[in-house]
Amino acid sequence: MSLYNPRQISLPDSDFTFPKQHSVYNGKVRDVYDLGDQLLVVVTDRISAFDHILPRAIPYKGQVLNGVAAHFLEATKDICPNWLVATPDPNVSVGVKCEPIRLEMVVRGYLAGHAWREYKSGKRTLCGVSMPEGMKESDRFPSPIITPATKAEEGHDEDISREEILSREIVSKEIYEQLEQYSLALFERGTSMAREQGLILVDTKYEFGMHNGEIYLIDEIHTPDSSRYFILDGYAERQASGEKQQQLSKEFVREWLMSHGFQGKEGQLMPMMPDAFVEVVSERYIELYEKVTGKVFDRSNTVPIRERIEQNVLAFLKGFKA
């Protein structure tokens, strides 16, 4: 299916004014509207890589992220409380307002992405966690490892060890241990759900916040922006023959940027994605949605997106089902 002009069916930003709105925060991908005791999150079609927002929006990407996150938040709410209350629009989530914990809990089941780049450079420790000798790219770790990162307001997130987190008193030892337990349990559930769909959950990140003294899972989970998946069928054979694994993630976008001389470093010029590549990215996101959730993606009712979002949100806020 051709997207024709991707600029006409994407949501690069949002500029709504909703009832009870106190403020709005524009993140890399999400625009977060503070409604007092709740947050309303508009998931745009922006795409980021190497901590930079790329100049082209990706049609349907926001809908994919919102749908996948809602799917997994619903499927894991027995593991820990989460922020989600409702999804009144394909691009919108409404949930409990939490005080964010400034950490990303990155769980890795396989040696890939950032971990592989560090390993290939000769490092055998990541965030204070040892990685075995003799591994090759995409090998499975003996057991999943947690490699946290600080959650930066601006600029780059930075790797951090458990010891540094505790010494800097980012959170208490009790809270951090609970974050570890939740993260590993969520990863185990995500791994099991992925396997049922013929996928391998390679690595992912979780973010948490506090609400009334309790830890809540916040933000997105198990989406193509926060996670990496391999195709399960043929994984062992590809590893044995030294072939690259078939991935479902946005790593291919990072690889495209690197092939065009961009890794987010100072002085590097960000390349502009042509329409044809934007369409490829969009289709890859939709493919991941369908493979991960087992549901058919609904491309209908997308134009005009802004009017649709406003109507659905206002109806929801008035107490009607959107």
Q: Is 264 left (phi over 0), alpha (psi -120 to 50) or beta?
A: left
CA atoms within 13 A on the CB side of 28: 18
Q: So what's the pLDDT on residue 229?
A: 94
Q: What is the pTM of this model?
A: 0.89
In 3D space, the residue among 127, 198, 130 whose CA is nearest the CA of residue 160 turns out to be: 127
pLDDT band at 321 (very low <50, low <70, confident <90, very high): very low
pLDDT band at 8 (very low <50, low <70, confident <90, very high): low
Of the chain, the percentage scoring pLDDT greater than 90 comes to 86
Domain(s) of CATH 3.30.200.20: residues in the chain = 6-99+252-317
How many other C-beta atoms lie within 10 A of the C-beta of residue 172? 11
Helix 61-75 × helix 173-196 angle, to 10°: 110
Domain(s) of CATH 3.30.470.20: residues in the chain = 100-248
Work out the mean pLDDT of the chain and round it to a whole number. 93
The tens digit of pLDDT for each residue in 122-145 reads 999 999 999 999 999 999 999 999
What single-letter amino acid sits at 317? Answer: L
| Mean pLDDT, range 50-76, rounded to an integer | 95
Pick the CATH number of 6-99+252-317 from 3.30.200.20, 3.40.640.10, 3.40.50.300, 2.40.50.100: 3.30.200.20
| Mean pLDDT, range 192-204, rounded to an integer | 97
Q: So what's the pLDDT on residue 173?
A: 98
Beta carbons of 208 and 104 less than 8 angstroms apart: no
Q: So what's the pLDDT on residue 322?
A: 40
The tens digit of pLDDT for each residue in 246-304 reads 988 888 899 999 999 999 999 999 999 999 999 999 999 999 899 999 999 998 776 78
| Mean pLDDT, range 27-50, rounded to an integer | 94
How many other C-beta atoms lie within 10 A of the C-beta of residue 173? 11
Report the distance separating Cα 237 and Cα 35, nearest Å.
51
> CATH homologous superfamily for 100-248?
ATP-grasp fold, B domain (3.30.470.20)
Q: Which helix (H) or strand (E) holds 115?
A: helix 113-120
Report the distance separating Cα 78 and Cα 124, nearest Å.
35
| Mean pLDDT, range 83-96, rounded to an integer | 97
Q: So what's the pLDDT on residue 7?
A: 53
Beta carbons of 191 and 109 less than 8 angstroms apart: yes
Q: So what's the pLDDT on residue 125?
A: 97
> Does pLDDT of 198 surpass 80?
yes
> Does pLDDT of 157 surpass 80?
no
The region of weakest confidence among 25-39, 148-162, 163-177, 202-216 is 148-162
pLDDT band at 156 (very low <50, low <70, confident <90, very high): low
Report the distance separating Cα 33 and Cα 35, nearest Å.
6
Q: 20-28 long-range contacts, Cβ below 8 Å, gap at least 24? A: 20/317, 28/53
222 class by beta-carbon count within 10 Å (0-12 exposed, 13-18 middle, 19+ buried): buried
Strands 199-211 and 103-110, how do they pair? antiparallel
